[in-house]
Structure 1
Amino acid sequence: MEDKIYELARKKVKEKKGFYLHFSVYLAVGAFFFIMNALTYYDSYEWWFFFPMLPWGVAITIHYFSVFGLPGGALSHDWEEQELRKEIHRLRSKADRMENPGHEDRLELRSLKKDRIKHPGGWNEDELV
């Protein structure tokens, strides 16, 4: 069990390290593009450095969410653990019902009778169309 926990932790650390490296390269290349654009701005009078940086920024954002999950969202590690516990509980209770079919709790529905209300005109509710 300890080995499994260690391997999961090691995998998570490698994923975080990969994200930080990816983000560092993104910042370095972004700074390089900005400096190149600033030095050549007077030739074309256009800011172009953000064109390659925007799609890469979207990729960085996706990489972040794949490593860290949505903060407090449905895809976090806590949510995953909670859903796993729910599913285990559901499957165990289903297996128990399959093993002991006679011990099921059954709901008995009793027929409800509507109270008849006498109206001043002498007619009943069930006589209305």
Structure 2
Amino acid sequence: MENFETEFERYRKAKKQVEEIKGFYIHLFSFVLGMVFMLYLNLKYSPKFLWIVWPLMGWSIGLFFHAAKAYNFFPFFSKDWEERKIKQFMEEEKNNANKFE
């Protein structure tokens, strides 16, 4: 029974990871389309001032953090890290409570 639960848990985590990556690709696709459209608008209506740089920089930052979350570039942002820290603090609290008994 325990093996089934761990197998199901691994499947659930893998599925969530695939959904995160899929969401990132959708974000990347909309980024490319949005930038192409804004570049067209910028060059057509105000070619002397390249204002597209500002939305490009802002959206790129958001895209970077989305990629970081989807591909776990920063492990301290993941749910696994949060769960491990919660368990660690609970164990420390339990050990500290046992010291005074």
TM-score by length of 1: 0.53
Give yes or no for the alignment of 1:33 onto 2:38. Answer: yes
Instruction: Give the direction of change, closer, same or farther, for the CA distance of 1:15–1:74 in structure 2 (3 Å limit).
Output: closer
Secondary structure of 2:55's aligned partner: helix
Partner deviation per Cα, 1:76-127 (whole Å, 9 max, x = no partner): 87x94xx94xx4xxx4xx5xxx5xxxxxxxxxxxxxxxxxxxxxxxxxxxxx
Give yes or no for the alignment of 1:65 onto 2:68. Answer: yes
Contact 1:68–1:76 (CA under 8 A) maintained in structure 2: no
Give yes or no for the alignment of 1:3 onto 2:4. Answer: no
Gap regions ≥5 residues in structure 1: 99-129
Provide the rounded CA distance (Å) in 2 between the counterparts of 1:68 and 1:75: 12
Deviation at 1:75, TM superposition (A): 2.9
Percent identity between matched residues is: 22
RMSD: 3.5
Q: Which runs of 4+ in 1 moved over 6 A?
A: none
Gap regions ≥5 residues in structure 2: none
Structure with higher RCO (Cα < 8 A, 6+ apart) = 2
1:24 alignment partner in structure 2 = 29
TM-score by length of 2: 0.65
Number of positions where the alignment pairs a residue of Structure 1 with one of Structure 2: 92
Q: Which one has the bigger helix percentage?
A: 2
Deviation at 1:74, TM superposition (A): 5.2
